[in-house]
Amino acid sequence: MCGAFVRPPVPFVRFLPTAPGVTASPSPTTIAAAAAAIAVAAWRSARRRRQSAERLAAATLESLLNAIDANDAETGAHVRRVADYALVLAEAAGLPSARRREVERVALFHDVGKIHEALFDLVHDDDGLSPQEREAIATHPKRGADVLAPLCAFYPELPDGVVAHHERWDGGGYPNGLRGIDIPLAARIVAIADTFDAVTHARRYRAGSDPERGARVIQEGSGRQFDPSLAALFLSPPVFAEIRRRMEASARAEARERTAPANPRPRTRGRVSRGERRARQRETPVPNVSFRWRPAVAARR
């Protein structure tokens, strides 16, 4: 539960002489001291407001991540693994802490566009996709950037990184056909981590491949799909050993979670075919929820 944020009082500054009978103007020293005290109080107040706004922005991201989990636990687990791998690569690339946090945010929200209602059934369709449906799926980077656009005052890198995570080093990606270092660095890092997880992690319709196969896919895409220097770094022995360790740790954690009776993993909606899911939706009664705006809307009709 959120704790109430209590803003400390702004320090009261007394700077004019108040003794009875004192009529002389304040000295220049007194005025300067008072001005300095007011400036400090204003700076502290502005800092508190900024910190409060930053906490609110971070909480908004956390809530959005919870919403992704609630909507689809598989995607929630995927983006966390991608963030884990992306952070290993970002650290190996020597990025400072603030840039690593940017990479982490882009990784965590790179697929947020897939929660869009228009794509949900397609993303979880076990029956294969038509070319038109694949085209629809390819809109998810742009949809994700649109979802995140209101937060760009706090996280300017986020929409730009998310929209670019399917761009390719050779310019053949989407949605904007960016090429080389025109692609934001966070997106280039996430593209490698995302592909590695897509290859190595089991899907409902196929088993996951071993890390060596994942490494071959990254090697084959180097200079075409992926930034060659980042791909080489990812495949360097110490970095790849760490990636493999993280991958195995996450597989063990997921296995424990699946078998833990006290905390069963919520069943994702995607484990059933589209037809079956729609049939279930038809059977589910509409929840009896009254929103406060409804009477007002009804009265206007």
Closest CA to 150 of 49, 61, 47, 51: 61
Q: For residue 203, list its beta bridge partners.
A: 206
CB of 37 to Fe ion, least distance (A): 53
Three-state helix/strand/coil letters over 263-282: CCCCCCHHHCCHHHHHHHHH
Nearest distance from C-beta of residue 201 to Fe ion, angstroms:
14
* Smallest distance from Fe ion to CB 197, Å: 11
**Closer Cβ to Fe ion, 111 or 167, answer by number:** 111
Contact 65, 108 (CB under 8 A): yes
Q: How far apart are CA 273 and CA 76, in angstroms?
A: 20
Least distance CB 166 / Fe ion (angstroms): 6
Q: Are 189 and 230 in contact (CB under 8 A)?
A: yes
Residue (13 or 199) nearer to Fe ion, CB: 199
Q: Are 242 and 88 in contact (CB under 8 A)?
A: yes
By CB under 5 A, what part of segment 92-131 binds Fe ion? 111
Structure tokens at 101: 């946090």
> Where would I find the beta strands (DSSP E) of the chain?
none
Site map for Fe ion, 6-35, x if CB under 5 A? Answer: ------------------------------
- Count of CB atoms within 10 A of residue 129's CB? 13
Active site residue 114: yes
Shortest distance (Å) from residue 233 CB to Fe ion: 22
How many other CB atoms sit within 10 Å of the CB of residue 185?
Answer: 20
Residue number with CB closer to Fe ion (111 or 227): 111
Number of residues that bind Fe ion (CB under 5 A): 1
Which residues neighbour 33 within 8 Å (Cβ) at sequence distance 6 or greater?
15
Provide, rounded to whole angstroms, the least separation between the CB of residue 132 and Fe ion: 18
Q: Which is nearer to Fe ion, 61 or 198 (CB)?
A: 198
Q: Which is nearer to Fe ion, 74 or 111 (CB)?
A: 111
Q: How far apart are CA 163 and CA 175, in angstroms?
A: 7
Choosing from 78, 114, 124, 165, the catalytic residue is: 114
Report the interhelical angle of 73-92 vs 185-200 (nearest 10°).
120
At 226, is the secondary structure helix, strand, or coil? strand
> Cβ closer to Fe ion: 34 or 138?
138
Amino acid found at 285: P
Q: Please report where in the chains the tokens 């491949």 appear, as a residue.
A: 209
- Which residue shows structure tokens 């070319």? 131
Name the residues annotated as catalytic. Answer: 114
Binding residues for Fe ion, rule: CB under 5 A, are 111
